[in-house]
Amino acid sequence: MEEQWYSNKDLFEQITAIQNDFKDLRVEMKETRAIIRQYNGLREELGQVKKDIADMQSKNKGKKMLSEAIRLWGGWLFAFITVVLMLVEKII
């Protein structure tokens, strides 16, 4: 008769240790999934913040362009209105 490599007690202890390892692995996998969900949420938030910043920068750029246009063309507009008023006064 061949000799057994492991006794029944050794096999039972090894199976129990493997089961405990699997339980620990399941717990770690749950924690990993929770961390991944949290990371994905932060990534989405970061994307929204970037979009909001880009919107604010666009608005500021538009305001700056408008004020620049008013500064550049305001004198011409004032001169045109003055000329029109002077012509209207001469006609009346």
- Residue ranges for the chain with pLDDT beneath 50: none
Residues 47-56 pLDDT 10s: 999 999 999 9
- On whether the CB atoms of residues 14 and 6 are closer than 8 A, the answer is yes
Which pTM does this prediction carry? 0.53
Q: Which amino acid is at 41?
A: G
DSSP string for 70-91: HHHHHHHHHHHHHHHHHHHHHH
Q: Which amino acid is at 70?
A: I
Token readout for 87 is 């012509």
